Amino acid sequence: MSDLKQAIKQNYVKCAKDPSYFINQYCTIQHPQRGKIKFKLYPFQYDVLKEYQSHDYNIILKSRQLGISTLSAAYALWMMLFQNDKNILVIATAKDTAKNLITKVRIMYEALPAWLKTAIVENNKLSLIFKNGSQIKAIASNESAGRSEALSLLIIDEAAFIEKIDTIWTAAQQTLATGGRCLAISTPNGVGNWFHKTWQDAQDGANKFNTVKLHWTCHPERDEEWRQEQNKILGPSQAAQECDADFLSSGRSVVDPVVLEWYKEKMCCEPIEKSGFDRNLWIWGYPDYSKNYLICADVARGDGTDYSAAQVFDLEEMEQVAEYKGQLGTTEFGNFLIELATKYNDALLVVENNNIGWATLQTIIDRGYENLFYQEKNHLVVKDQFVRVIQGGRPGNIPWDAFDVDVVIDATGQSLSRSDLELHLKSGAKRVFTTKNPKNKIDRYVIPGINEETIKVSDKVISTTSSTTQVLALMIKMLDETFGLERAMMTTVHAYTADQPLADAAGIDLRRSRSAAENIIPNTLSLIHI
């Protein structure tokens, strides 16, 4: 009996020291086809566990169905069993998803031998609390998620798909400040979201996260045949997202991922110099004093949670020649921008002027930098020249006579009757042009290159017709004059427009209810006989 106790003790110590050994020897999982089976780790899962142990913050970009959520559940159970007072929180896209991870922990615990178990204080669908003070809770994502007591481990499951994850992370990271760990796990979901930005920053060394990328090929039981089968099951687009762990091929990108990848390979290159006190000014082209430059700046809070950024462009070649990304206070960033703009031939400096940006702008203004563009209340300011900006929702709301306006161009597309357009005249304008085909008779329809010579002094309300009409009229004129026309038919292929819904859903007008990214949208238009 003493030998048995000694063996159990040794095994217990071994489990406590090595989560891989504990999981591989004693954890059980629920297999969708084979029921409850032993959790036998694949080589890549051993490697992932080593990353979990070696780094406090891990961000895992993964292919689908690699068992990483299950592995994380097993890691959480190991931590709860062998360490006292551990507080673990699981955040997922929905309550059922969050509950699923707790269920995995519970199945593993229930299958353990008695000598590995500890007493349970609370056991329900969304929480599990042990007598040693360790606990795991699961919640669906919301803005208050993570605003709790100090966390030992935070697991964010499918982080790329969680709404308002930025707010959640801002709150949650405060609860990790006392030494907690974080696992942010997800398949990709396009670019620009918190998961993508955090991954990119981690690769640049700009945050605490260690990056772990798991392509579908890391699974020893998958081959090219499996990958092709996923295309059939999920469709090429969905399969690219869930199998390839590639940000560019995931999400709903307006630009073809192939184009982005080509641009990344052919056009992106290492800077020729990394300068500045923090080496965060990357330079691809040195100043050429015969050229004009533009600098666009985005101002951060300067509190260590965000980055101020500036992009320098060669206006002649329309190429980016420098970039800055760093953590500076608003005043320091203003001083830096003046130095950078002066270096690049007194570049035109455009600064985001939200509440934070105004502090940086004020620094630049106070120091007297002149080549500056910004908006101040109702004015655009360029080199100390003020241009008034007025917003009016309807014709007649703006007093054109107060500004001595002769001609108004109504390009809103909303004023389609003569009576509406005449309101501009009543407000003081001498003439009004519209870029649409009005519903009723006006003074003149004019297409440049066709009949602009017909305009009379007495014409007050004039239409330049629609873009389609202009293009078609010019084309017809050239064809008729060159070859002669008896009969013609036209089909247009249009880009995105505001009045054509971009969802595959039926509207009142079925001609305007298709996805512009995936379909040629048929539509009707009215042509003006001139």
State the pLDDT at residue 414. 80
Vertex 323: Cα angle to 314 and 286 (nearest 5): 50
- What type of residue sits at position 73? A
Assigned domain for 394 exists: no
pLDDT value at 221 more than 80: yes
Query: Which residues, including other chains, have CB under 8 Å from residue 343's CB and lie 6 or more apart?
Result: 287
- Residue 221, judged by CB atoms within 10 A of its CB (0-12, 13-18, 19+), counts as exposed
Question: Can you tell me the mean pLDDT for 196-216?
Answer: 89
Instruction: Annotate 20-35 with b (16+ C-beta within 10 A) or e (fewer).
Output: bebbbbbbbbeeeeee
107 in the same domain as 35: yes
User: How much is the pTM?
Assistant: 0.53
Assigned domain for 349 exists: yes
Question: Can you tell me the mean pLDDT for 484-501?
Answer: 71
What's the pLDDT tens digit per position in 344-379?
999 999 998 766 788 898 899 999 998 998 877 677
215 in the same domain as 150: yes
Assigned domain for 38 exists: yes
CA–CA dist 157, 97 (Å, integer): 8
CATH number, domain at 67?
A: 3.40.50.300
520 in the same domain as 414: no
Q: Which two tokens stand for residue 329?
A: 């206070």
Assigned domain for 65 exists: yes
331 in the same domain as 277: yes
- Pairing mode, if any, of strands 461-463 and 444-445? parallel
Lowest-pLDDT range of 95-109, 155-169, 264-278, 342-356: 264-278
Most trustworthy range by pLDDT among 182-191, 259-268, 486-495: 182-191
Q: Identify the CA nearest to 43 among candidates 215, 218, 245, 243.
A: 218
Token pair 């017709």 in the structure block, residue: 465
Assigned domain for 281 exists: yes
DSSP 215-266: -GGGSTT--HHHHHHHHHHH-HHHHHHHHH--STTSS--SS-HHHHHHHHHH
What's the pLDDT tens digit per position in 133-158?
999 998 876 645 555 568 899 999 88
Q: Identify the CA nearest to 127 among candidates 152, 95, 159, 149.
A: 95
State the pLDDT at residue 81. 93
State the pLDDT at residue 2. 72
Question: Can you tell me the mean pLDDT for 270-286?
Answer: 88
Percent of the chain with pLDDT over 90: 38
- Pairing mode, if any, of strands 348-351 and 281-283? unpaired
Assigned domain for 294 exists: yes
213 in the same domain as 361: no
183 backbone dihedrals φ, ψ, rounded to 5°:
-120, 110
Alpha-carbon dihedral sign for residues 475, 478, 479, 480: positive
Assigned domain for 237 exists: no
What's the pLDDT tens digit per position in 97-121?
778 888 899 999 999 999 998 888 8
Model confidence band, residue 269 (pLDDT cutoffs 50, 70, 90): confident
165 in the same domain as 81: yes
State the pLDDT at residue 514. 54
Vertex 264: Cα angle to 295 and 158 (nearest 5): 100
Model confidence band, residue 522 (pLDDT cutoffs 50, 70, 90): low
Contact status, residue 266 vs residue 273, Cβ threshold 8 Å: no
CA–CA dist 227, 203 (Å, integer): 27
CATH number, domain at 443?
A: 3.40.50.720
382 backbone dihedrals φ, ψ, rounded to 5°:
-130, 115
State the pLDDT at residue 80. 93
431 in the same domain as 311: no
State the pLDDT at residue 259. 64
Query: Which residues, including other chains, have CB under 8 Å from residue 268's CB and lie 6 or more apart?
Result: none
Question: Can you tell me the mean pLDDT for 162-166?
Answer: 82
Question: Can you tell me the mean pLDDT for 184-191?
Answer: 87
72 in the same domain as 178: yes
509 in the same domain as 384: no
75 in the same domain as 199: yes
Vertex 183: Cα angle to 182 and 186 (nearest 5): 145
CATH number, domain at 335?
A: 3.30.420.240
CA–CA dist 217, 227 (Å, integer): 9
Assigned domain for 462 exists: yes
Domain that holds residue 507: 491-530
User: In the predicted model, what is the mean pLDDT of the chain?
Assistant: 84
Number of domains in the chain: 4
What's the pLDDT tens digit per position in 29-81?
887 777 788 999 999 999 999 999 999 999 999 998 899 999 999 999 999 99
331 in the same domain as 456: no
15 in the same domain as 112: yes
DSSP-assigned beta bridge partners for residue 373: 350, 382
pLDDT value at 412 more than 90: no
